[in-house]
Amino acid sequence: MKKLEEKIFKFLMIGSTVLILSVLLYILYVIMKKGLPSLSWDMISKIPSGGFYLGKEGGILNAIMGSLYLISFSVIISLMISVPVVMYLNFTLRRKSRLAAFARLTFDVLFGIPSIVYGAFGFTLMIYFGLQASLLGGIIAISLLIIPVMIRSIDEVAILIPNDLVEATKSLGATNYETIKVITRQLLPGISTAVLLSIGRGIGDAATVLFTAGYTDSIPTSLTQPTASLPLAIFFQLSSPVEEVQNRAYAAALVLTIIILTLSFAARYFSRRLSKNKI
Amino acid sequence: MELMTAPSIAEQPTPKAKSSSGCLRPHIEVENLNLYIQNNHILKNINLAIPDKSITCIIGPSGCGKTTLLRTFNRLHDDSVDVKITGRLFVDCEDIYAKDAEVTHIRKKMGLLAQRPCSLPMSIIDNVVYGPRIHGVRGKRKLYAIARHQLNAVGLWEEVKDRLKSPASKLSIGQQQRLCLARGLAVEPEIILGDEATSALDPISSKTIEELFVSIKDKYTIVLVTHTLRQAKRIADYVAFMYMGELIEFGTADQVFNHPKHKLTKEYISGGFS
């Protein structure tokens, strides 16, 4: 009986892993198969020219640059907000204080809110401040979207930091600020994971940028100009009746995937180099 | 005018009247110290004078307040919201709980060795020079010299000199504890506080640490909280026995272990309870 139980569980574990892996690999396969033939140097080095969406010349450089601008600024802003929030929750408030528990619950809820809501909220904010669809609007909306992700994932690691570390540092005469610097160092692997998760969530999201960043065929040169983004480039091209354009959507998806992979590897590499503690 | 002689509280040895800094009190002097956590009275009216350049062991059963008392010495309770402290605590004649006392300056005077070694997330050498660095020592050569000197002092230099740049967490627990001691010594403290500093170590490592304490006691005032009576017997010059938040007896090791005055002390050191 015990043996049967064990076998069932083993089957379940292996089965689920295989299932999910094969689905993911299949998605990658489809993107590659349909996207690779359309992927060309022009595609990633040129902005769309007239008639691009009817299958004529041009590329998606506008969307690539737009997405990179959007995500890099949002990640920087979110980090500047999330890290202090986590420090406050863990090292200034007592760990089990009510305010901290309430804040964590709130971030969990915010985590689960659909991205279109952030898009809509960002949109109302923009109207209030008299902004048009722009790079700035997109950055604000994406930051709102990824801050809860970031806070919660850094928080998961910060909770594990032993109080001993805080005391060891303080007993050497370190000020609060110096102590926080040491803690941040200990948190680096957590922070890099958080950045990765946020990039994944932020760069691939179409709904947040739909109203807030707009779409344009040129690369933005200021924060107030609208900007294109890869998810929307995929969306618009995929809804075209022209097959060639549809295939370009897959090429754009491939580009997006490659960007995410590259950023992941880079983040992992740097966090390993930075945190001498973990090698 | 300050007291010309050390306060002659009953059952206390007359500590050296003059500490290293030239003030007229013993190195650490606790006066009517009370500590409450939430509304629990944890430390009850503690009066204690710890002489310098010697090892003082605080002994007592678990939960008697030994660690709590030790942590008041470098104000580690500061960040706990529920803790209330009354009374006075002098280090080098300075009341460290006075309103204008500066906490980083007080902590710099004391190296703390925790129960489990806690290396900072950086390399071995950076661990040792962390303290000097935050207190403004600059220059690679200078810092290297400090690291070498302190690692030598704790007998770790030969073991780590070829891998100073590797992460401190790679060392064994015993080595890490010695590293923590070196790190504490590097800020040039006058006092070393040890909170059951050897209880997480294997016998050989804890022997090394004990010998280290003995070898450096002519330069530092060492206060150790210990659970092991045998350890106290081996290395203590002075012993403080605590029970239920009260200081029951304080005296030289010989006095407390061989001629205890209090019944509770007698019972405790003969193994009547633990």
3-class DSSP state of B243 = strand
* Structural domain spans, chain B: 119-188
Concatenating the DSSP letter of every residue in A102-149 gives: HHHHHHHHHHHS-HHHHHHHHHHHHHHHTPPS-HHHHHHHHHHHHHHH
Three-state secondary structure call for residue B84: strand
Residue B10: pLDDT above 50? no
Q: Which residues of B touch A164 (CB under 8 A)?
A: 114, 116, 118
Range A231-259 average pLDDT? 89
Q: Verify whether the Cβ–Cβ distance B81 to A170 is below 8 Å.
A: no
Q: Read off the pLDDT of residues B123-136 as tens digits, 9 standing for 90 and up.
A: 999 999 999 999 88
Pair (A163, A74) in one structural domain: yes
Distance CA A187, CA A165 (A): 12
| Whether residues A19 and A73 fall in one domain | no
Tell me how far apart the alpha carbons of residues A80 and A150 are, in angstroms, rounded to a whole number: 11
In a domain, A6, yes or no: yes
Instruction: Specify the pTM.
Output: 0.77
Q: Could you write out the DSSP letters of every residue in B231-242?
A: HHHHH-SEEEEE
Q: How far apart are CA B62 and CA B243, in angstroms?
A: 9
- Collapsing DSSP to helix, strand or coil, B30 comes out as strand
CATH number of the domain that A204 lies in?
1.10.3720.10
- Please check whether residues A151 and A230 belong to one and the same domain: yes
Mean pLDDT of A64-72: 93
**Tokens standing for B191?**
């006092």
Examine residue A230 and state whether it is found in any structural domain, yes or no: yes
The verdict on A34 touching B (C-beta cutoff 8 Å) is: no
A80 and A31 within one domain: no
Same domain, A16 and A112: no
What value does the mean pLDDT of chain B take? 85
The verdict on A26 and A155 lying in the same domain is: no
**Which residues of chain A make contact with B130, given a CB cutoff of 8 A?**
169, 172, 182
Inspect the interface and report whether the beta carbons of A277 and B169 lie closer than 8 Å.
yes
Instruction: Tell me, yes or no, if A93 comes closer than 8 A to chain B by beta carbon.
Output: no
- Residues of chain B in contact with residue A167, where contact means CB-CB under 8 angstroms, are 76, 112, 114, 118
Residue A279 maps to a domain: no
- Please give the Cα distance from A32 to B211 (Å, whole number): 67
Q: Classify strands B191-195 and B110-113 as parallel, antiparallel or unpaired.
A: parallel
Question: Is B139 touching A (CB cutoff 8 A)?
Answer: no
| DSSP letter (8 states) at residue B98 | S
Looking at A12-16, B9-13, B63-67, which range is the least confident one? B9-13
Could you tell me the CA-to-CA distances from A235 to A32, A38, A191, B118 in Å, in that order?
17, 16, 31, 52
Q: In this complex, is the C-beta atom of A178 within 8 Å of any C-beta atom belonging to chain B?
A: yes
Residue of A nearest to B102 (CA): A173
Domain residues for the domain of A81 are: 44-274
> Would you say residue B24 has pLDDT above 80?
no
Percent of chain A with pLDDT over 70: 95
- For residue A274, the distance in angstroms to the closest alpha carbon of chain B comes to 10
Indicate the pairing of strand B221-225 with strand B55-59: parallel
pLDDT at residue B94, rounded to an integer: 86
Q: What is the pLDDT of residue A81?
A: 96
Same domain, A144 and A25: no
Q: How many domains does chain A have?
A: 2
Query: Quick one: A152 and A241 in the same domain?
Result: yes
The reply to whether A116 falls in a domain is yes
ipTM of the complex: 0.79
Q: What pLDDT score was predicted for residue B242?
A: 92
Kindly report the number of other CB atoms within 10 A of residue B52's CB atom.
22
A237 domain residue, yes or no: yes
Indicate whether B3 pLDDT > 60: no
Q: Do residues A48 and A170 share a domain?
A: yes
Domain check: are A7 and A63 in the same one? Answer: no
Residues of A in contact with B111 (CB under 8 A): 171-172
- Report how far apart, in Å, the C-alpha atoms of B95 and of each of B29, B75, B103, B254 are: 9, 12, 11, 30
Chain segment B180-221, per-residue pLDDT in tens: 989 998 988 999 999 988 888 888 888 888 998 999 889 899
Q: What is the mean pLDDT of chain A?
A: 88
What CA–CA distance (Å, rounded) separates B227 from B58?
9
